[in-house]
Structure 1
Amino acid sequence: MRLLRAELLKIRTTSTWWVFGLISLVLWALTLGFNWLSTYTLLDMDTTDMSGDDVEQIRAAADVVNVAANLYTNGQFFGLLMVMLLAAILSTSEFFHQTATTTFLLTPRRESVVFAKLGAGVVFGVLFWVVTTLINLIVTPLVLTSLDTASQLGEGAVWSAIGLNGLAYALWAILGVGFGILIRSQLGATITLSLVYVIGSLGATTIFAVIGDRWGDWFQELQVAIPSLASQLMVSGTDLPGNPPRWVGAVVLIAYAVVAGAVGTFITKKRDIA
């Protein structure tokens, strides 16, 4: 607990956490506007000239439970990015401020330091989730009312999506700590992770959208191997046609987090810090 409190103090005593928090709120607001508009378009979409598979997917996405789940988890895409970057800074700050040697001299068991950083990352990840979820719980019923739809808060699938969203925030924090250990440079880690996350997610979505129909359902289901797409699958509300069950997304993300944490611990124990 002493090490965990120390790691939390390192973040609280700098402007990093609230800068990331403000950026997250701005991105949340932009995402809300986009989701509001896209939901309105989806509910009003004409499927007369579409193929059977496309119609089935659109009808599933337009289901009020899935619409509500998407809005109650609004801000996930950029929120997870912010949490990952903040968690990565927990690791890279030791090298940026040249305190790594002192830290490991005071705590010879390096894995204890890694576990403390992982714990601190999870705490901030969950904190970001709590804040955005509370805002979503206030705003989403208003959005749904404007779309002539009830709040859907009585649906278990909606609360399941909200809970799985919290799990996603915690797991992405673990990924961030692991990547931060792998990439020592604070600037390098921030730029690399941002580009890989955003461009990789958009690129993967484009690839699966363009050639997915040609390769069949088995290829479409492979998109769950992309961490950001696995996170989106987790909060889909109900299982969607052409996609694996939501629990598969959770399993994939947990596997990534376990590997990132294990690799980060191994590297920290074996690598020369001085």
Structure 2
Amino acid sequence: MNLVRAELLKIRTTNTWWLFGLGAVLMTALAFLVNMLTANTMLDGGIGDLEGINPEQAEQIRAQADVAYQAANLYTSGQFFGLLFVMLLGIIVVTNEYYHQTATTTFLTTPQRTRVVVAKLIAATGIGAAFWLVTTVLTIPATALYLASKDLGSQLGDGGVIRAILLNLLAYLLWGIFGVGFGVLIRSQIGATVTAVVLYLVGTTAASIIFTVLQQWLGWDWIDNLQVVVPSIASTLMISGTELPGSPPQWVGAAVLIAYAVVTGTVGTIIMRRRDIS
């Protein structure tokens, strides 16, 4: 616990955490406004005439018009950028050691490197939980007020909505672990953060386009579902309040993220134990 407190102290004594925290709050507010406009359209029968549309796509649109789906989407607003900020803080938990040249002192104080890495992983998940808590505290009353204005109730008694909120917490925890693993692989703070941002923002869109093109080219519907192997897409799947027809269930997204977390955490520990810190 002393090691964990030390890792948290290293984050608290820099300006990075509150800058990212402020960014997460602002992006959550923006995402909520966008999701509220979408929900307003969908819940007011804005799906339009679905004749002539592929039956499976029509079923997906109808499922998205369900109040539980829209409620879950509102309660988990801001996840996309929130996870990015958590991953970046996880990266900084590691790269700060090399940027400020404190790695030598850290490992001399605690020669058991595995314990240091575990402390960094715990600290990163704690940061993820804090970000989830702050954003959720903001979205729950805002969503409840919006739904009440439409006489729909808060939907917090719906199992799918509660599951989405809790799986959103799991996503925040796991992305903190991803950040630590990424920081171990690329020790340069600038290099790691820039690479992570590009992969997260551009890679998500590129992967979605590639899978869609392959699905249309080969005509195999199951290829489109392989998008779930992309961590950011798996995270989005986890927070759907209802299962969409033709899409993998929520637990698949959770399983994908857990697998990534186990791999990155294990690989990061092995590399940190063996790599020369000079």
Equivalent residue of 2:256, what SS?
helix
Question: Following the alignment from structure 1 to structure 2, what is the Cα–Cα distance between the partners of residues 145 and 190?
Answer: 41
Say how many residue pairs are matched.
274
Q: Does 1:229 align with 2:205?
A: no
- Compare 237-246 and 174-183 and name the one that shifted more: 237-246
Question: Following the alignment from structure 1 to structure 2, what is the Cα–Cα distance between the partners of residues 57 and 135?
Answer: 28
Q: Which runs of 5+ in 2 are unaligned?
A: none
C-alpha RMSD over aligned residues: 1.4
Distance 1:77 1:90, change over 3 A: same
**Is the contact made by 1:70 and 1:237 (CA closer than 8 Å) also made in structure 2?**
yes
Q: Does 1:32 align with 2:36?
A: no
Who is 2:250 aligned against?
Answer: 246
Distance 1:25 1:225, change over 3 A: same
What is the aligned-residue identity percentage? 57
Offset of residue 40 of structure 1: 2.6
Offset of residue 209 of structure 1: 4.2
The C-alpha deviation readout for 1:38-73, integer Å capped at 9, x for no partner, is: 223334121234221211010111111111111111
Question: Following the alignment from structure 1 to structure 2, what is the Cα–Cα distance between the partners of residues 216 and 142?
Answer: 43
Given the two structures, how large is their TM-score scaled by the length of structure 2?
Answer: 0.94
Question: Following the alignment from structure 2 to structure 1, what is the Cα–Cα distance between the partners of residues 91 and 131?
Answer: 15
Q: Does 1:108 align with 2:111?
A: yes
**Is the contact made by 2:83 and 2:172 (CA closer than 8 Å) also made in structure 1?**
yes
Q: Does 1:261 align with 2:265?
A: yes
Offset of residue 211 of structure 1: 4.7
**Is the contact made by 1:121 and 1:174 (CA closer than 8 Å) also made in structure 2?**
yes
Who is 2:183 aligned against?
Answer: 180
Equivalent residue of 1:236, what SS?
coil
The amino acid across from 2:58 in the alignment is V
Question: Following the alignment from structure 1 to structure 2, what is the Cα–Cα distance between the partners of residues 160 and 193?
Answer: 28
Q: Does 1:42 align with 2:19?
A: no
**Is the contact made by 2:76 and 2:136 (CA closer than 8 Å) also made in structure 1?**
yes
**Is the contact made by 2:47 and 2:62 (CA closer than 8 Å) also made in structure 1?**
no
Question: Following the alignment from structure 2 to structure 1, what is the Cα–Cα distance between the partners of residues 214 and 246?
Answer: 14
The amino acid across from 1:219 in the alignment is I
